[in-house]
Chain A
Amino acid sequence: MVLRNAVHKDLYADSVALMRAAARLAEPPGVETISLVMGTPANRDVLARSGLLTTPGHDAGPNDLLVAVRGEPDAVDTALALVVDALSGPGEGPGAGPKAGADAGPPVRSLVGAPAGASLALISTPGPYAAAEALKALRLGMHAFVFSDHVPIEQEVLLKREAARRGLLVMGPDCGTAVIGGIPLGFANEVRAGCVGLVGASGTGLQQVSSLLHSMGSGVSHVIGTGSRDVSAEVGGPTMRAGLDALAADPVTEIIVLVSKPPAPHVAEQLLRHAGASGKPVVACFLGMDGTVPAPAGVTLAPTLLEAARAAASLAVGGTLPPGEELPKLPAPAPPRRLLRALYAGGTFAHEAALLLGPALGDIARTAPPPVPGAAPRLPDRHLVLDLGDDEFTAGRPHPMIDPTVRTEYLRTALADPRSAAVVLDVVIGHGAAPDPAAALAEALSEAPVDTPPVIAFVVGTDDDPQGLTAQQRILRDAGAYVVDSSTTAARVCAELLCAGVDLMLAPGSAATSTAASASASASASRIGETA
């Protein structure tokens, strides 16, 4: 067993690319541990504490790639020799940039070097650097889409103030998705062009609503993400307001949909007022907002993502929609099966589920002990609605929409847990998502014991996405899952299964209009038809 370090001068790769490369390089037998990090003091310190730092790693600088490998000598040498290649695989590392041909000129190394006329910066650097890059973009006259998270909120406030001053838009930080004039940014789905414009503080929520619009035969003009904190009291919703204004002025957009977890109350009030003055019909889906807030004329409040999509689609086609799909009939769980295990990759879906199921199920745990390497995850003795995209589950590894490893572990545990009465899974496809996300889940399902709880799954995306909606749904169905059309429907199915006879509350303050026995997507559709 040997430990070796290597330093590649001035070779930068983002941490996602480094983690993917490290995972590939760790596969061959004989490699015990491999770490690829940029040689920052903090990273060197981490390696030192793990006993992985040696010469020449001590001397690595922050712009140098530092590689540490422990294992059998031959395997270690092989891994070291493959590092640069592993980083320059398709879509990885600096090699993924423009081809450095004889006449291509040197690669552009900063936003300042971008060609004249560039209009939008797509920023996904590590969080501590993202606000500076966004500020550069604004100063250079570009709009900014900031995918990066971990940006201090006061920097977000300053950025958005600067953007307003310059008549520019900052989408994010922590903005997952946007589609501008048919151009997908970040995690986005291939949705039909149409007349519905979306602005949202929830990336997966926007993906769900835009994909549902597509499946309902409608389409979108633009999808504008605002970043998850835009509608908080501190930030005050400037991007959602500016996005609304932009869509109101956009000739292609006829209907506007707002999607968010609940904004701060005064922000919600302002936004609704603003929406009422937009001159276009607006559907506002502020998941969990106090239902007593009156909506101005022209604004429809939708309590769920599915209802938001149906309301907008019905406005778009100018009539009522055909009823939604029938809920699958699931066998009632037998004791000791009594607990919900909802394992989400999309945080908004977890939020929506907790909201819809909370009144019916009562106590729901929203966290679980984070994974410990080498041990099976532990699940609480309560209903569980888990957001596996949360920081504590993504430390040091990619989001579950890219890397299914962590969620698969929780899924295996949930399937083997005799207390589990229902398991819920979301599968988000489209650009940025894993190439075949259903496959890893299906594998876990097929390997599960014979007596397992029912698995309810939904796929967010369209058939035009690289992974294909129908294909992903089929994989899950073939593995024994009940596949439904949306996050909202999945939550409804669970409600019916786990608390038959209890009314499912759709939004606080609104009387549930259907009994659990008859709760179905079609029932909700008719209600939306009334309010629209």
Chain B
Amino acid sequence: MTAQAAPAQGLLTGVPRVVNVGVDAFAGPPRAAGATVTAVDWRPPAYGDPELGAGLARLVAHPAVEAANAEALERILGVVPLWTDVRPAGELIPELAQERLLLHAGPPIEWQRMCGPMRAAVVGAALLEGWAATASDAEALAGAGAIRFAPCHHHDTVGPMAGVISASMPLLVVEDEATGLRAYSNLNEGQGRCLRYGALGDDVMMRLRWMGERLGPALRAAIGSLAEPVNLRSVTAQALQMGDECHSRNTAASALLTRELSAALARHAELGGIEALDFLRDNNYWFLNFSMAASKLALLAGHGVPHSTVVTAFARNGVDVGIRVSGLGDSWFTAPAAPVDGLYFAGYGPADANPDIGDSAITEMHGLGGFALAAAPAIVGFVGGTPEGARRVSQEMATLTVGRHRDYRLPGLDFVGSPVGLDIRKVVDTGLEPVITTGIAHREPGIGQIGAGLTHAPMRCFTDALSAFDVPPEPGE
């Protein structure tokens, strides 16, 4: 940009193409006179904070930020998530084996502030690890500070709902060859009464033990015997053409992944391969944890680009939700967890619901879930919407991202790429809160899932992150 460019370049040479911001009626006369007028459905940006709005304006079309975001997007899209292994968490994350450490979903939280379902999951994990003999013993242990807690995200791991992970639980390993990055998630327990939803009981504990003793080793042997690791990007891309959005609907992807492994599992019957196949036959959520780990891997690659405003994590612990931003280091920007607007199982209602919980919203940050809602007509019915509404959500989310996925395509929108690279600038500018598809846990410990629906990432996370963002110097300033 030269110091003094030509005055009012181009203004008087043609019919202006007008964008109207503010009083709607002003759009009429120029339009009637033959100008193209785009009416902006405007509202005060930055949740009405003029000072933050002014800071935001200085980041609009900023060359350093645009370049950083393009770099972050390229890194995210460049990741090829390969499922290579299943191993006990304690082997992959040594601290889990060395101390009484439990990982949990969402941003950091201490025992005293944890919600009911997460407390229940902590109790279940303490029982599983043999740290306590009874639920009350486990609670006393946690209350006494004898258990350390850390977010899954701090160990490149993601866990759905309560996301509580202990040393003996098997984790799936996803790797990107080019960068050498790895990410982990636990194995999905299925639907209904699950530890991740805060359900407790013999049935829950028995399944967890079986998963560690039989399912994990069988899967490990099966995946190890394949000619090459499973490319989860291909599975996801196919599943999006088959009605999944790979957050709240994983039916097709789960079937595809099971098909990939079934012969190998059958060959390892002695380790539990046939039991595994029986288990997978009923588990429509099986792929969720793979979708999450693959998303986490991609966003890990996109994290840490200086000046990038791309969100690289969104996670909820049932009390707080938080985001991380590529150019803002390891800080969490948090807000109170939002309620979930959804449908409930018989006998339950909104009063029973825990606020938004789980690391699974990492999928939205990778262009899946709510961002890919246009791919999943079935789940739209489940949350009370229409296919038209689902298309609209995906279109709206595309106004908040820096780009689109090259491989993940949305049939409902003429196979356009799903929106990827949530940009805090755009969220704060438009006042649109990102849409998340999610399950609903009962707020009391020990009960489990009671429904599913849609929720939003609260604006506060984004305004706080933007407040922390420094405007990079600009050439010519």
- A→B interface (CB under 8 Å): 10, 12, 14, 16-17, 38, 40, 61-63, 91-94, 96-98, 102, 105-115, 117-126, 128-133, 135-137, 139-143, 147-148, 164-169, 180-186, 188, 221-222, 241-243, 245-247, 249-250, 252, 431-432
Whether B60 and A112, one on each chain, are in contact in the complex, defined by CB atoms closer than 8 angstroms, is yes
A168 to chain B, nearest CB (A): 7
**Could you write out 30 A-B pairs with CB less than 8 Å apart?**
A12-B42, A16-B23, A40-B48, A92-B25, A97-B27, A106-B396, A107-B40, A109-B42, A110-B40, A112-B426, A114-B40, A115-B17, A115-B38, A117-B17, A119-B16, A120-B16, A121-B18, A123-B21, A129-B44, A132-B56, A135-B54, A139-B61, A165-B5, A168-B5, A168-B9, A169-B7, A181-B14, A183-B15, A243-B7, A432-B29
Question: Which residues of chain B in 26-52 are interfacial with respect to chain A, using CB atoms and an 8 Å cutoff?
Answer: 26-30, 33-35, 38-45, 47-48, 50
A105, A108, A147 — most chain B CB neighbours (10 Å): A108
One of A93, A124, A243 near B21 (C-beta < 8 A): A124
Whether A180 and B11, one on each chain, are in contact in the complex, defined by CB atoms closer than 8 angstroms, is yes
Query: Which single residue of chain B is at the shortest CB-CB distance from A169?
Result: B8
A303 to chain B, nearest CB (A): 28
Query: Which single residue of chain A is at the shortest CB-CB distance from B62?
Result: A139
Q: Which residues of chain A have C-beta atoms less than 8 A from B58's C-beta?
A: 135
User: Is B98 in contact with chain A by the CB < 8 A criterion?
Assistant: no
One of A61, A106, A221 near B395 (C-beta < 8 A): A106
Whether B8 and A136, one on each chain, are in contact in the complex, defined by CB atoms closer than 8 angstroms, is no
Beyond contacts A38-B44, A107-B39: 20 other A-B pairs, Cβ-Cβ < 8 A, are A62-B44, A105-B395, A106-B399, A108-B39, A110-B45, A111-B21, A115-B17, A117-B17, A119-B10, A119-B17, A121-B21, A125-B21, A132-B54, A133-B21, A133-B22, A141-B61, A143-B16, A168-B9, A183-B15, A247-B12
Whether A111 and B40, one on each chain, are in contact in the complex, defined by CB atoms closer than 8 angstroms, is yes
Say which one of B125-133, B184-192, B231-239, B427-435 lies at the interface with A: B427-435
A350 to chain B, nearest CB (A): 24
One of A106, A128, A164 near B392 (C-beta < 8 A): A106
A167 to chain B, nearest CB (A): 3
Please measure, in the bound complex, the distance between the C-alpha atom of A128 and the C-alpha atom of B50, giving whole angstroms: 6
**Top 9 A-B pairs, shortest CB-CB distance:** A167-B5, A124-B22, A62-B48, A12-B43, A96-B24, A431-B29, A246-B8, A132-B57, A107-B41
Taken residue by residue from 217 to 260, chain B's Cβ proximity to chain A (1 for < 8 Å, 0 otherwise) reads as 00000000000000000000000000000000000000000000
Q: Which residues of chain A have C-beta atoms less than 8 A from B426's C-beta?
A: 110, 112
Please measure, in the bound complex, the distance between the C-alpha atom of A185 and the C-alpha atom of B19, giving whole angstroms: 11
Whether A166 and B5, one on each chain, are in contact in the complex, defined by CB atoms closer than 8 angstroms, is yes
Question: With A110-B42, A114-B19 given, is the CB distance from A63 to B48 under 8 Å?
Answer: yes
User: Is B388 in contact with chain A by the CB < 8 A criterion?
Assistant: yes
Whether B25 and A91, one on each chain, are in contact in the complex, defined by CB atoms closer than 8 angstroms, is yes
User: Is B302 in contact with chain A by the CB < 8 A criterion?
Assistant: no
Query: Which single residue of chain A is at the shortest CB-CB distance from B37?
Result: A122
Q: Which residues of chain A have C-beta atoms less than 8 A from B21's C-beta?
A: 111, 121-125, 133
Q: Which residues of chain B have C-beta atoms less than 8 A from A164's C-beta?
A: 4-5
One of B53, B60, B430 near A109 (C-beta < 8 A): B430
Query: Which single residue of chain A is at the shortest CB-CB distance from B413?
Result: A105
Whether A183 and B12, one on each chain, are in contact in the complex, defined by CB atoms closer than 8 angstroms, is no
Query: Which single residue of chain B is at the shortest CB-CB distance from A11?
Result: B43
Question: With A121-B19, A132-B57 given, is the CB distance from A181 to B12 under 8 Å?
Answer: yes
Q: Which residues of chain B have C-beta atoms less than 8 A from A105's C-beta?
A: 395
Count of chain B residues with a beta carbon within 8 Å of a chain A beta carbon:
63
One of B7, B16, B22, B30 near A242 (C-beta < 8 A): B7
Whether B33 and A166, one on each chain, are in contact in the complex, defined by CB atoms closer than 8 angstroms, is no
Whether A94 and B41, one on each chain, are in contact in the complex, defined by CB atoms closer than 8 angstroms, is yes
A246 to chain B, nearest CB (A): 4
Please measure, in the bound complex, the distance between the C-alpha atom of A431 and the C-alpha atom of B4, giving whole angstroms: 34
Q: Which residues of chain A have C-beta atoms less than 8 A from B61's C-beta?
A: 112, 136, 139-141
Question: Which residues of chain B in 54-79 are interfacial with respect to chain A, using CB atoms and an 8 Å cutoff?
Answer: 54, 56-58, 60-62
Please measure, in the bound complex, the distance between the C-alpha atom of A226 and the C-alpha atom of B5, giving whole angstroms: 19
B138 to chain A, nearest CB (A): 38
Whether A10 and B392, one on each chain, are in contact in the complex, defined by CB atoms closer than 8 angstroms, is no
Please measure, in the bound complex, the distance between the C-alpha atom of A440 and the C-alpha atom of B53, giving whole angstroms: 40
Q: Which residues of chain B have C-beta atoms less than 8 A from A92's C-beta?
A: 24-25
User: Is B3 in contact with chain A by the CB < 8 A criterion?
Assistant: yes
Whether A118 and B38, one on each chain, are in contact in the complex, defined by CB atoms closer than 8 angstroms, is yes
Whether B39 and A184, one on each chain, are in contact in the complex, defined by CB atoms closer than 8 angstroms, is no
Question: With A97-B24, A132-B45 given, is the CB distance from A120 to B7 under 8 Å?
Answer: no
A477 to chain B, nearest CB (A): 27
Whether A109 and B18, one on each chain, are in contact in the complex, defined by CB atoms closer than 8 angstroms, is no
Q: Which residues of chain B have C-beta atoms less than 8 A from A142's C-beta?
A: 19
Question: With A108-B38, A112-B426, A129-B50 given, is the CB distance from A222 to B12 under 8 Å?
Answer: yes
One of B15, B18, B25 near A96 (C-beta < 8 A): B25
A38, A96, A102, A164 — most chain B CB neighbours (10 Å): A96
Please measure, in the bound complex, the distance between the C-alpha atom of A243 and the C-alpha atom of B9, giving whole angstroms: 11
Q: Which residues of chain A have C-beta atoms less than 8 A from B144's C-beta?
A: none
Please measure, in the bound complex, the distance between the C-alpha atom of A188 and the C-alpha atom of B45, giving whole angstroms: 29
Please measure, in the bound complex, the distance between the C-alpha atom of A61 and the C-alpha atom of B431, giving whole angstroms: 12
Please measure, in the bound complex, the distance between the C-alpha atom of A476 and the C-alpha atom of B41, giving whole angstroms: 39
Whether A183 and B24, one on each chain, are in contact in the complex, defined by CB atoms closer than 8 angstroms, is no
Whether B11 and A109, one on each chain, are in contact in the complex, defined by CB atoms closer than 8 angstroms, is no
User: Is B346 in contact with chain A by the CB < 8 A criterion?
Assistant: no
Whether A126 and B431, one on each chain, are in contact in the complex, defined by CB atoms closer than 8 angstroms, is no
Whether A109 and B432, one on each chain, are in contact in the complex, defined by CB atoms closer than 8 angstroms, is yes
Please measure, in the bound complex, the distance between the C-alpha atom of A249 and the C-alpha atom of B3, giving whole angstroms: 20
User: Is B1 in contact with chain A by the CB < 8 A criterion?
Assistant: yes
User: Is B476 in contact with chain A by the CB < 8 A criterion?
Assistant: yes
Question: With A166-B5, A183-B33, A245-B8 given, is the CB distance from A94 to B60 under 8 Å?
Answer: no
Question: Which residues of chain B in 442-459 are interfacial with respect to chain A, using CB atoms and an 8 Å cutoff?
Answer: none
User: Is B6 in contact with chain A by the CB < 8 A criterion?
Assistant: yes
Please measure, in the bound complex, the distance between the C-alpha atom of A339 and the C-alpha atom of B220, giving whole angstroms: 99
A54 to chain B, nearest CB (A): 22
Whether B57 and A181, one on each chain, are in contact in the complex, defined by CB atoms closer than 8 angstroms, is no
Please measure, in the bound complex, the distance between the C-alpha atom of A464 and the C-alpha atom of B425, giving whole angstroms: 44
Please measure, in the bound complex, the distance between the C-alpha atom of A126 and the C-alpha atom of B25, giving whole angstroms: 15
